[in-house]
Chain A
């Protein structure tokens, strides 16, 4: 079974500062993918970044980067230069081919960016 853990309480971040959101996971599957999604107050799920378990380099997408530490089973999201529009819930998720591609989600981190 796959398990995603996000335990940080709600976070306040100063605009233009960087923020790191923690995510740890547990799986016995040898091949898996890790995702981060953003959910603003409007409710839609927005894909941010993906990391494959066999990828050698950490994924980056614009201001988003994923700090992947396979041995520690962690996949932290780093948002650089926070903007007011980054205020949202952020979800870490995992899937695996052995799991029929089902996405398993963590409980989310609330981020509020303050000017």
Chain B
């Protein structure tokens, strides 16, 4: 039972490079989220999805794009990486009635932009 799987776990990018972070869940969850975590800031929501084919902006969406072509996958893209995007990225998913226990987090992706 994998839960939420994030790939890659670590990545170093040069400024201006692009990359895609993949989040995959096997729990048939409707909702998926991408967060970033910076020291002293807690987790901040970048983008989220309420179902296959949907995406919406969160608290800090600038510089990121997302896609949810399949229910189980939620991709986070950085088109032109900047040092300010150095962070730890977490993906999470929840059921349709996620207002209970049902949030599951991936193990995180540590991204460094140099």
Contacts and interface: CB of A to CB of B under 8 A. Distances in A.
B98 A101 contact: yes
Contacts of B90: 45
User: What are the 3 closest A-B residue pairs judged by CB atoms, nearest first?
Assistant: A101-B98, A45-B105, A105-B42
Given A45-B90, A100-B48, A102-B33, A108 B99 contact: no
Contacts of B50: 100-101
Contact of A107 (B41, B94, B101): B41
Interface of A: 4, 6, 31-33, 35, 43-45, 47, 50, 52, 91, 93, 95-97, 100-108
Interface of B: 31, 33, 35, 40-45, 48, 50, 56, 58, 88, 90, 92, 94, 97-101, 103, 105, 107-108
A103 B92 contact: yes
B33 A103 contact: yes
Given A91-B43, A107-B41, A107-B42, A101 B94 contact: yes
Nearest to A95: B99
18 contacts: A6-B42, A31-B99, A33-B99, A33-B100, A43-B108, A45-B105, A47-B101, A93-B43, A96-B99, A100-B31, A100-B48, A100-B50, A101-B94, A102-B33, A102-B48, A103-B33, A105-B43, A107-B41
Nearest to B58: A102
